[in-house]
Structure 1
Amino acid sequence: PSLVHRNLVETPQDDNNIWALGAGGRFLLTKHTSIDAEYFYVLSKKMAANFHNSFSVGFNIETGGHVFQLYVSNSQGIIGQNFIPGSVGNWLKGDVLIGFNITRTFVLQKPKGFQK
């Protein structure tokens, strides 16, 4: 479960406290590639007229210390405070956004047994 609190809301139709339930999963295609999916169902009934629950699908490629991620979503925000209450895209109408991330793992200390 997630709780997003907003001190200032745009209209009286918006709740200050928004409760949501989220679920996500990852399916490994190979040792270094996967497909991810995530869905958040907002329990609050006082939402904007153009609001839709957040749904995202992504493809990951791991290469050494890098992970390249390509996502398609109806949400523009990347953190819960933005995408839980602010998803206005409709998948059925093609209102989707494409996102790309690169992450890198840095090691500051060599693990024990590390070969030269």
Structure 2
Amino acid sequence: MFIDAWHPGDHYMSEDYKRVARHRTRTQSPPRYYCIDFSISRKYEASNTNPSEVPIFGGDKEAPEFKEDNYKPRNPFPTDVWYFGHAIQEIFLDVRRNNDFSSCIS
């Protein structure tokens, strides 16, 4: 994690190439990760605690809301949570599903 801008030719040197670029490890300066996608986002008033929208069809059609009446307005936030969990499952868990971990156990 670089504190200073680095030189494009040598990432460990400062942008002006006069000194070593200051940096820290990820444990010294833990990063924050944000999962965002504003391509089909909606903005609601803070007072609207239970908004209702017709589902927006994205690439992933496995959400439970898409298995029901597709044009019935419903709260979009549970679908967002489902999509986030499903992405984690596909990226991190399904990759390991078919691996044999028995060799790791002694």
Q: TM-score range by the shorter chain?
A: under 0.3
- Larger CA Rg, structure 1 vs 2: 2
The structure, 1 or 2, with the larger RCO (C-alpha pairs under 8 Å, 6+ apart) is 1
Structure with the bigger percentage of helix: 2
Structure with the bigger percentage of strand: 1
